[in-house]
């Protein structure tokens, strides 16, 4: 579960494109990517199309997921950039609040391998 601040910004495009670059590896191992921002569904759909993303973007305009995962402090905040790695049992195994947008996909793979969630 990855949170990003705003569609159609350079950092967010790099962040999600980097995750897209490892999508097939994750998909092969029955692992999913869900990306969350406070943008509307229509804006997210256009953004996802512009990047050819094959994983879902979740509009959290009310910031319910953002509050649940401590990705905002107020109802007017943009989401903080972070990724939550959750295992198949629903246990949060890792929280990355220092996302490096250009290398995030490979970074996630390395973390998941270190946690033995991927071979």
14-57: per-residue pLDDT in tens? Answer: 999 999 999 999 999 999 999 999 999 999 999 999 999 999 99
pLDDT at residue number 8: 98
Per cent of the chain over pLDDT 90 is 100
Across the chain, what does the average pLDDT equal?
97
Taking a C-beta distance cutoff of 8 angstroms, is the pair 60, 91 a contact? no
Report pLDDT for 110: 98
Nearest-angstrom CA–CA distance, 32 and 111: 15
Q: Which residues does residue 57 pair with via DSSP β-bridges, in sequence order? A: 35
Q: pTM here?
A: 0.96
Half-sphere exposure in the Cβ direction for 117 (13 Å, CA): 22
Q: What is the pLDDT of residue 69?
A: 96
How many angstroms separate the CA atoms of 84 and 82, rounded?
Answer: 7
Q: What is the pLDDT of residue 91?
A: 97
């Amino acid at each position: 579960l990855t949170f990003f601040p705003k569609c159609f910004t350079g950092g967010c495009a790099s962040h999600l494109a980097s995750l897209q670059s490892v999508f097939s590896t994750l998909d092969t191992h029955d692992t999913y990517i869900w990306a969350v921002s406070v943008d509307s569904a229509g804006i997210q759909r256009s953004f996802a199309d512009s990047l050819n993303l094959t994983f879902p973007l979740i509009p959290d305009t009310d910031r319910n997921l953002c509050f649940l995962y401590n990705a905002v402090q107020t109802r007017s905040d943009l989401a903080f950039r972070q990724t939550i790695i959750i295992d198949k049992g629903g246990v949060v195994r890792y929280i990355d609040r220092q996302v490096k947008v250009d290398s995030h996909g490979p970074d996630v793979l390395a973390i998941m391998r270190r946690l033995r969630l991927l071979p």
